[in-house]
Structure 1
Amino acid sequence: MDEHGPLCVGIDPHASLLEAWGLPDTAAGVRDFGLRVVEALGGKVAAVKPQAAFFERHGSRGLAALEDVLAASAAAGTLTIVDAKRGDIGSTMGAYADAYLRDGSPLAGDALTVSPYLGFGSLAPAVELAAATGRGLFVLCLTSNKEGAEVQHARSLPDAGGHLGASVASVMAAHAAVLNAGAEPMGSVGLVVGATVGDAARATGTDLVAVNGPLLAPGVGAQGAGARELSTAFGDARRTVLASSSRGVLAAGPDAESLVRAARAAATEATAALRS
Structure 2
Amino acid sequence: MTEPFGARLRRAMDERGPLCVGIDPHASLLAEWGLNDDVAGLERFSRTVVEAVAGRVAVLKPQSAFFERFGSRGVAVLEESVREARAAGALVVMDAKRGDIGSTMAAYAESFLHKDAPLFSDALTVSPYLGYGSLRPAVDLARESGAGLFVLALTSNQEGAEVQHAVRDDGRSVGATMLAHLAAENAGEEPLGSFGAVVGATLGDLSAYDLGVNGPLLAPGIGAQGATPADLPRVFGAAVRNVVPSASRGVLRHGPDVGALRTAADRFAEEIRTAVTGS
TM-score normalised to structure 1 length: 0.93
- Equivalent pairs: percent with the same residue? 61
Q: Does 1:107 align with 2:119?
A: yes
Separation in 1, partners of 2:229, 2:250 = 18
Question: Residue 239 of structure 1 corresponds to which residue in structure 2?
Answer: 241
Q: Work out which of the residue numbers 93, 101, 122 in structure 2 matches 1:89.
A: 101
Q: Does 1:189 align with 2:195?
A: yes
Query: What are the Cα deviations for residues 104-130 of structure 1, in whole angstroms up to 9, with x where unaligned?
Result: 111111100000000000000000000
Alignment of 1:144-159 (within 5 A): 144-157=156-169
Equivalent residues of 2:149, 2:195 under 8 A apart = yes
Residue 222 of structure 1 and its aligned partner are, at CA, apart by: 5.8
Q: Work out which of the residue numbers 257, 260, 265 in structure 2 matches 1:258.
A: 260
Unaligned runs of 5+ in 2: 1-12
Residue 223 of structure 1 and its aligned partner are, at CA, apart by: 4.0
Q: Does 1:72 align with 2:84?
A: yes
Instruction: Please tell me the residue identity of whatever aligns with 2:241.
Output: R
Separation in 1, partners of 2:131, 2:256 = 41
Separation in 1, partners of 2:226, 2:34 = 28
Residue 179 of structure 1 and its aligned partner are, at CA, apart by: 1.0
Q: Does 1:208 align with 2:220?
A: no
Separation in 1, partners of 2:229, 2:73 = 42
Separation in 1, partners of 2:177, 2:79 = 34
Query: What are the Cα deviations for residues 210-245 of structure 1, in whole angstroms up to 9, with x where unaligned?
Result: x00010001235642346632332110001001100
Instruction: Please tell me the residue identity of whatever aligns with 1:214.
Output: P
Equivalent residues of 2:229, 2:271 under 8 A apart = no
Query: What are the Cα deviations for residues 246-275 of structure 1, in whole angstroms up to 9, with x where unaligned?
Result: 000001111111110000001111222233
Query: What are the Cα deviations for residues 157-182 of structure 1, in whole angstroms up to 9, with x where unaligned?
Result: 3xxxxxx5211011101111111111
3-state DSSP class of the match of 1:44? coil
Equivalent residues of 1:221, 1:270 under 8 A apart = no
The 3 A distance-change label for structure 1 pair 250 and 132 is: same
Separation in 2, partners of 1:229, 1:44 = 23
Equivalent residues of 1:191, 1:215 under 8 A apart = yes
Instruction: Please tell me the residue identity of whatever aligns with 1:220.
Output: I
TM-score normalised to structure 2 length: 0.92
Higher relative contact order, chain-length normalized (CA < 8 Å, sep 6+): 2
Residue 74 of structure 1 and its aligned partner are, at CA, apart by: 1.8
Q: Which moved more, 1:11-20 or 1:216-225?
A: 216-225
RMSD: 1.4
Instruction: Please tell me the residue identity of whatever aligns with 1:150.
Output: E
Separation in 2, partners of 1:235, 1:13 = 32
Q: Work out which of the residue numbers 7, 15, 24 in structure 1 matches 2:27.
A: 15
Residue 153 of structure 1 and its aligned partner are, at CA, apart by: 0.7
Query: What are the Cα deviations for residues 77-134 of structure 1, in whole angstroms up to 9, with x where unaligned?
Result: 2110000000000000000000010011111111000000000000000000000000
The 3 A distance-change label for structure 1 pair 258 and 248 is: same
Separation in 2, partners of 1:120, 1:137 = 12
Separation in 2, partners of 1:31, 1:226 = 30
Equivalent residues of 2:113, 2:141 under 8 A apart = yes
Aligned length: 266
Separation in 1, partners of 2:257, 2:228 = 27
